[in-house]
Amino acid sequence: MPRTKEQAPALSEQLRSYGAVPHEVPTIAVEPPRTPQQMECAAKALIDFGVRPDLVPSGEQSARGLVEDWPPYDPVFDPIDRVFLPRADIATETLVAGLVELGWEVDDVTAYRTVRASPPPAETREAIKGGGFDAVLFTSSSTVRNLVGIAGKPHNVTVIACIGPATAKTAEEHGLRVDVMAPEPSVHKLAEALADFGAKRRLAALAAGDPVTRPSERRPGARRRRSTST
C-alpha cells in the first residue's frame, strides 16, 4: 500500500478483515508550503470552527465532479464572486479552470506540498520488483509515480489495483497492467474490489481444476525458493 503514514492504517485494517497481510510503503510526505504567508492571510477570512460543507459532488469525488455540480456565478444571488481554493502544489488545474469558466474569481493558494517519501528498505524494494507481493493498491497518480521512483516497477505477476481512471491511466503509462479498478473513488471500495477480484480468481481456478495459488507463487523460481526454505 503506497500511501502516506497518516492515511494507511484504516485501509490496512480493512484488508486484514479480508484475511490479507498489508504492508505499508509510504510514497508521499506532506510538508508546509515554502511561502506560508499566502495561506495564512487567506485563512484569516474563515471562521475557526463549525464550517460545514454546502456542496459535495453528487457523482465523481474529484475536482471534475465538483466543477460539474458547481453553479455558475450569478451577480444577483452572489454579491461576492470570489472562491478561496487552498490546495496541493501538484493539484491539476481542472478546478481552477472550471470555476473561472463559470464566472468565478479564484484565490488559488498552495496549502501544502506533496513530496516523494524516502525509499523503503532494500528487502521491500526487492519484494516489489521481484513479485514478492500479491497485489499493490494505488490510490492516486502520484502514488504510482513515486512508488516506481523510489522502489521500482512492480513485477508483472503482481495484481495492480487502482482507485480510478486517472490513476489507472498513470499506471498504464508506467507499463503496468491494471487488473482491478474501484467502482467509485474510495479506498474502501478499492479494497472491496480487490477482495472480490481475489475471490473470483479463486473460484475460477477451482472450477477449472487448477491449483489455487497466490500471484507471488507464480513468479519464476518462487516455488523452488519456497520449498528450499521450508
Instruction: Give the 3-state DSSP-derived string for the chain, with helices as H, strands as E and coil as C.
Output: CCCCCCCHHHHHHHHHHCCCCCCCCCCEEEECCCCCHHHHHHHCCCCCCCCCCCCCCCCCCCHHHHHHHCCCCCCCCCCCCEEEEEEECCCCCHHHHHHHHCCCEEEEEEEEEEEECCCCCHHHHHHHHHCCCCEEEECCHHHHHHHHHHHCCCCCCCEEEECCHHHHHHHHHCCCCCCEECCCCCHHHHHHHHHHHHHHHHHHHHHHCCCCCCHHHCCCCHHHHHHHHC
Whole-number Å distance between alpha carbons of 155 and 126: 10
Ordered domains of the chain (ranges, CATH): 8-27+120-229 (3.40.50.10090), 38-115 (no CATH)
Q: Hey, what's the torsion of the CAs at 91, 93, 94, 97, to 10 degrees?
A: 150
Per-residue pLDDT tens digits for 68-98: 999 999 988 888 889 989 888 777 788 999 9
Per-residue pLDDT tens digits for 54-72: 888 887 777 888 999 999 9
Q: Which residues pair with 137 in a beta bridge?
A: 161
For residue 164, give the nearest of 72, 57, 89 by alpha carbon.
57
Q: What percent of the chain has pLDDT over 70?
A: 89
Per-residue pLDDT tens digits for 146-191: 999 999 999 999 999 999 999 999 999 999 999 999 998 888 999 9
Q: Taking all residues of the chain, what is their mean pLDDT, rounded to a whole number? A: 86
* Burial zone of 58 (CB within 10 Å; 0-12 exposed, 13-18 middle, 19+ buried): exposed
